[in-house]
Structure 1
Amino acid sequence: MRFTGFITSLFALFLLLSPGSSAWAEVGIGATAPADAEILLDGSREMLDQKWTYWEGPRFSSSLPIKWKVVEDPVDAGTVIMSDDPAAAGGKYGTADIVTKKKYQDFRLHVEFLVMKPGGNSGVYLQNRYEIQVLDGDKTKHGMAAVINETESPYHAYNGTGKWNAYDITFRAARFKDGKLVEKPLVSMYFNGKKVHENVTINKVWGGANSGLDGGNNNGFGITDTPGGIKLQCEGHDVRYRNIWIQPLDLKTADTDFKE
């Protein structure tokens, strides 16, 4: 019986740690990518230009090459990417946002960011549609780490300005049948190693046409059956990013919950 119990426990541990399982997760600052994940941002200019481009939405007013800067990590060794772009001065989102060239459906995403000054504003967009907010000082449904306008901000998990923070996200895209939406997108998330969102339904694309894909379709309710990239928002603030990786998934059931 003891041996059987040991084998059972070992199998459970294998399921938890297996990169192919949606239950697997290494979360928090410094989390390493599983073998089948793709590194999207390592702090280098080369990877920025190779894997990212500008989102040319209705308000786009910058130009390639990407004007985001490669700067020294203010905390650790190495370089990171700084979101400040002159085109976005004054908080004009949509003018200089960057998006991955590759598009995704279901996925596990890890993003590390650092807000340099109070009030710093950016955002992480899933499928270039659904925003996970990055906004220092805001604890509302429009605030830090909120699934924007869907949940309250889990501000208690935020490390504050001048410190690195980490989002670990599992996302399931909307499902369609005969061209009609039958299942809304779902998201679960850890913020700095703390579970803050579990199977949150995303009801629409918020923010209008200048915000992301489908934002201008039927007031954001007109979600289309197309994949989208990971987007980082530029609002003229100094927000820095590093260690971004993504693991494509195929979530058969409507469940994005995952274990730490």
Structure 2
Amino acid sequence: MFQKLNTEYSILKISLLVAILFTISISGYSQTGVGVKPIKGAKLMLDGTEKMLHKNWKYWEGPRFSSSMPIKWPSATDPIDGGPVISSNDPAGAGGKYGAADIVTKKEYRDFRAHVEFLVKEPGGNSGVYLQNRYEIQILDGDNTNHGMAAIINEQIPTSDEYNGTGKWNAYDINFKAARFENGVLTEKARVTIYFNGVKIHEDQPIQQVWGGPNSGMDGGNDGGKGITDRPGGLKLQAEGHDVYYRNIWIKELNLDGKSTDF
């Protein structure tokens, strides 16, 4: 009898553990994808209104910068629900002139969790999300290469195609760990985990360098983009003369010392 009770107790413990792990898994999954609200401790950086755009963002004044404050990213109407959105179609970025009118958060970060929602209005729409104003997660309709949609640009293609297509909302959920240094020497590359529309597409991937030269972001002109420095940077959105709409962008600062970026 005692052995039977002990066995039943062990089975109950295992069942409870499985249930807890399943709940944790579902909870984490439910915090990714289109429409999720900011998690505890996160700050909403863009709700689609001009007020929040001008409060939390500024132009990145890199070597190709050719606009002036205030930010000239136009407001627009969400084609799906009629709410406010901000378009990346700044006149200074026309013709794919990246770096001429890119916007970056006024606050700078090291490790962080970010949520970014975007809608590509027309085929071929092009923009990008830059982590620490260095590392680009591409937004490019119609391209599935390592320079295309959801790629860690020029380095890693996503493990699956989760893009919803033009005229629909998409969401990147990103855990980012900044590069580590000791006495000014790089000891660990930056790393990132990304969910795209609720599906994991990059898991704890190292990021090798900044691509695109000095007009792309911080350290782009240092040793061909390999000269990463130990400076925090903002979350940046790219203007290339396309109507890529943004809304529901939020960020939470993290400390990932000794930790993976997986979540």
TM-score normalised by structure 1 residue count: 0.92
Aligned residue number for residue 255 of structure 1? 260
Aligned residue number for residue 65 of structure 1? 70
Aligned residue number for residue 109 of structure 2? 104
**In the superposition, relative to structure 1, how do residues 217 and 26 fare at CA in structure 2: closer, same or farther (>3 Å)?**
same
CA contact (8 A) 1:140 1:153 kept: no
Task: State which drifts further: 2-11 or 29-38.
Answer: 2-11
1:222 pairs with 2:240: no
**d(CA) in 2 for partners of 1:13 and 1:247?**
24
Pairwise CA distance, 1:6: 6.2
- 1:180-234 CA distances to partner (integer Å, 9 max, x unpaired)? 0000000111111111111111011111000000000111111000100000000
Unaligned runs of 5+ in 2: 1-9
- 1:81-136 CA distances to partner (integer Å, 9 max, x unpaired)? 11111111111000000000000111111100000011100000000000000000
Aligned residue number for residue 98 of structure 2? 93
One-letter amino acid of the structure 2 residue matched with residue 45 of structure 1: E
**d(CA) in 2 for partners of 1:67 and 1:154?**
35
Aligned-residue identity in percent: 61
SS in 2 for 1:50: helix
1:127 pairs with 2:132: yes
Larger CA Rg, structure 1 vs 2: 2
Pairwise CA distance, 1:152: 1.9
**In the superposition, relative to structure 1, how do residues 60 and 24 fare at CA in structure 2: closer, same or farther (>3 Å)?**
same
Aligned residue number for residue 82 of structure 2? 77
Task: State which drifts further: 23-32 or 201-210.
Answer: 23-32
SS in 2 for 1:156: coil
Pairwise CA distance, 1:158: 0.7
Pairwise CA distance, 1:247: 1.2
**CA RMSD across the alignment:** 1.8
Unaligned runs of 5+ in 1: none
Pairwise CA distance, 1:13: 6.2
Aligned residue number for residue 183 of structure 2? 178
**In the superposition, relative to structure 1, how do residues 154 and 12 fare at CA in structure 2: closer, same or farther (>3 Å)?**
closer
Pairwise CA distance, 1:246: 0.8
TM-score normalised by structure 2 residue count: 0.91
CA contact (8 A) 1:110 1:168 kept: yes
One-letter amino acid of the structure 2 residue matched with residue 145 of structure 1: A
One-letter amino acid of the structure 2 residue matched with residue 207 of structure 1: G
